[in-house]
Structure 1
Amino acid sequence: MTTGPVGFIGLGDMGGPMALRLLDAGKELAVCDTRDAALTPMVAKGAYCAENPTDVANRCEMVLVSLPTPDAVYEVALGQSGLLEGTAINTYVDLSTTGAMMAKTVAAGLGEKGIAVLDSPVSGGILGAESGKLSLMVSGPEVVFEAVRSILEIIGNNLFYIGAEPGLGQTMKLANNFLSATNNIAAAEAMVMGVKGGLDPTVMLNVINASSGRNSATMDKFPRAVVTRTFEKTMKQKLLYKDVRLCLEEAEALGCPMWLGSAVRQFLAYAVSQGTGDDTSVALIKHMERWADIEVGSAATGDKD
């Protein structure tokens, strides 16, 4: 279905590593981003630097986007100098987390011009993007999914076809990220309580990860980034807040109450209001540590000095 160069728009924490994987696999890329610093490593590997999304869509039949907000996705796809104005594009793949409503809007807008649309949000974090070990939740025409599968397999090793209706992949991603956020925050509360009570954090994680309380936060993020105090390689708090907010908005539109979701959203809104929106999501525990006057680290055994 697609020949020639592939377009890639949005070279942030997730998009940058995904685009680099495509370049390293020998794909010819036309890239676009608002930041020169994000474009430099791509151009150094041979990518064409496009002026705007329309320039990408004039050169490439297949365009992938990885953008931070629904508004950014709308502008890139349907706005002025957007993909809709391009002459070569026939396939659009959205790797962002934008929610089902935006996915349907973009699919309808691009579909009027005969452009096939897949929403394909990803999960696995920055490390997964770097290593090609992402999960992709794809919805849209199955024939289009199969046609671009070989390119998507460079980005992720777990491809799931969710269904033909636009937005189903987004709904799946929002459900997953709600659970991820909840796991992270619940693990932080449990770890702070335990360390405040005299438990060693590493012993706590060993017990939890051999027991029923284990989750992705206790099994990976906390041993790697909290106990070590590096707080690295997880998504920004403001983006996690965006995802949970979108999840609750979709749930409300569907008539599905999410009581716990409201508490998670409120905590994330608080964190962003305190100026930590650009910090990694695994660093959310710092708020709880401050309230409890304790630090969950490799040497933590009681109140911090």
Structure 2
Amino acid sequence: MRIGFIGLGVMGAPMARNLQEAKHEIITTLNRSPLPDGIKAEVLDSPADVARACDVVITILPDTPDVERVLMTEGGVLEGMESGKLMIDMSSIGPIETAEMARAFAEKGVDYVDAPVSGGEVGAKNAALTIMCGGSNAAFERAKPLLEVMGKNITLVGDKPGAGQTCKIANQIIVALNIEAVSEALVFASKAGCDPAKVREALMGGFASSKILEVHGERMINRTFDPGFRLKLHQKDLNLALQSARILQVALPNTATAQELMNACAAQGEEDTDHSGLVRALERLANHEIG
């Protein structure tokens, strides 16, 4: 299949490689060059050209305005779409804006699935992403064979576009609060005089065990903050959570706290480091580094 794939970044590049290895042909447009290592793609001038050349377009872009620009403006994907084609947006963006864009595609007879992902760069490379989808069952079934090339846990969350984004926001709330909890625990234990590596080892055998403790706890101890998932992108996701919560009149007090700790890290120039670097905000408050 000829697949339009726009967004060949940290996540998108390995996802596109997996599609390519499954014998799909990749068509793209680039804001920058060259193509990422391992990607062989036909490069066209605009998102509209990509849409005209393909039956399916997949996007994975940083934020809501980026998706709106690529999909909805002059020369965008919508302009090049025809009835019967399929649009899959795998970005993590606002659910309200997603629903609005999906309506515009539906008016042209185009199926739309929002399919944000979780699992980070490692999950993208290993084709082991969790993918949360919103859209009609028919659109989901069309998208599923492609999603299965990129992920393992693929769920249709709701029958309308935007449901996947809502689920991803919930995911990011849980991840952020887990990072904050592990950070607090390791800073506390370390400042009390314990070896944080030994504390982590002990906790991994009990009810406090989690993927965050396993992966990000080790990052915190070893000071390996090269990004798997950039802190500024998690900031963006928590902004979406808090904006949506205001509309829904839902209190998210601990989400707001985690966001403020990420803001403190960003203020120190750490927005492009891994989101596990949230621990450094708590270390500064405690005047104590665990590593």
TM-score range, shorter chain: over 0.9
The whole-number CA distance in structure 2 between the counterparts of 1:148 and 1:281 is 30
Equivalent in the alignment of 1:206: 201
Q: Secondary structure at 1:182's aligned position in 2? A: helix
Equivalent in the alignment of 2:66: 72
Indicate if the aligned counterparts of 2:5 and 2:16 stay in contact, CA closer than 8 A. yes
Listed as ranges, the matches of 1:73-222 within 5 Å are: 73-88=67-82, 90-222=85-217
Residues 167-190 of structure 1, C-alpha deviations (whole Å, 9 max, x = no match): 111101100111101111221121
Indicate if the aligned counterparts of 1:59 and 1:88 stay in contact, CA closer than 8 A. no
Normalization by structure 2: what TM-score? 0.94
Indicate if the aligned counterparts of 1:178 and 1:244 stay in contact, CA closer than 8 A. yes
The one-letter amino acid paired with 2:58 is: L
How much does 1:269 deviate?
2.0
Equivalent in the alignment of 1:302: none
The one-letter amino acid paired with 2:290 is: V
The whole-number CA distance in structure 1 between the counterparts of 2:130 and 2:245 is 23
Change (3 A) 1:271 1:229: closer
Ranges in structure 1 where 5+ consecutive residues have no aligned partner:
298-305
The whole-number CA distance in structure 2 between the counterparts of 1:24 and 1:222 is 33
Indicate if the aligned counterparts of 2:113 and 2:143 stay in contact, CA closer than 8 A. no
Residues 251-297 of structure 1, C-alpha deviations (whole Å, 9 max, x = no match): 11112111112211222222222221111111222233334343323
Equivalent in the alignment of 1:16: 13
> How many percent identity over aligned positions?
32
Query: Given the alignment, which residue of 30, 45, 55 partners 2:27?
Result: 30
Q: Secondary structure at 2:251's aligned position in 1? A: coil
Please report the RMSD computed on the Cα atoms of aligned residues, expressed in angstroms: 1.6
How much does 1:132 deviate?
0.5
Query: Given the alignment, which residue of 37, 45, 56 partners 1:41?
Result: 37
Which stretch has the larger CA shift, 159-168 or 210-219? 210-219
How much does 1:87 deviate?
4.4
Q: Secondary structure at 1:159's aligned position in 2? A: strand
Which stretch has the larger CA shift, 140-149 or 238-247? 140-149
How much does 1:120 deviate?
0.4
How much does 1:88 deviate?
5.0
Alignment of 1:250 with 2:247, yes or no, is: no
Size of the alignment, in residue pairs?
A: 290
The one-letter amino acid paired with 1:15 is: G
The one-letter amino acid paired with 1:30 is: I
The one-letter amino acid paired with 1:33 is: L
Indicate if the aligned counterparts of 2:2 and 2:27 stay in contact, CA closer than 8 A. yes
Runs (4+) off by over 6 Å: none
The one-letter amino acid paired with 1:186 is: A
Indicate if the aligned counterparts of 2:264 and 2:281 stay in contact, CA closer than 8 A. no
The whole-number CA distance in structure 2 between the counterparts of 1:33 and 1:273 is 30
The whole-number CA distance in structure 2 between the counterparts of 1:227 and 1:261 is 24
Indicate if the aligned counterparts of 2:176 and 2:255 stay in contact, CA closer than 8 A. no
Equivalent in the alignment of 1:300: none
Equivalent in the alignment of 2:48: 54
The one-letter amino acid paired with 2:254 is: L
Q: Secondary structure at 2:37's aligned position in 1? A: helix
The whole-number CA distance in structure 1 between the counterparts of 2:131 and 2:270 is 28
Indicate if the aligned counterparts of 2:8 and 2:36 stay in contact, CA closer than 8 A. no
Indicate if the aligned counterparts of 1:110 and 1:116 stay in contact, CA closer than 8 A. yes
Residues 183-223 of structure 1, C-alpha deviations (whole Å, 9 max, x = no match): 11221121111111111111111222222323321122222
The whole-number CA distance in structure 2 between the counterparts of 1:269 and 1:123 is 22
Indicate if the aligned counterparts of 2:227 and 2:273 stay in contact, CA closer than 8 A. no
Change (3 A) 1:274 1:233: closer
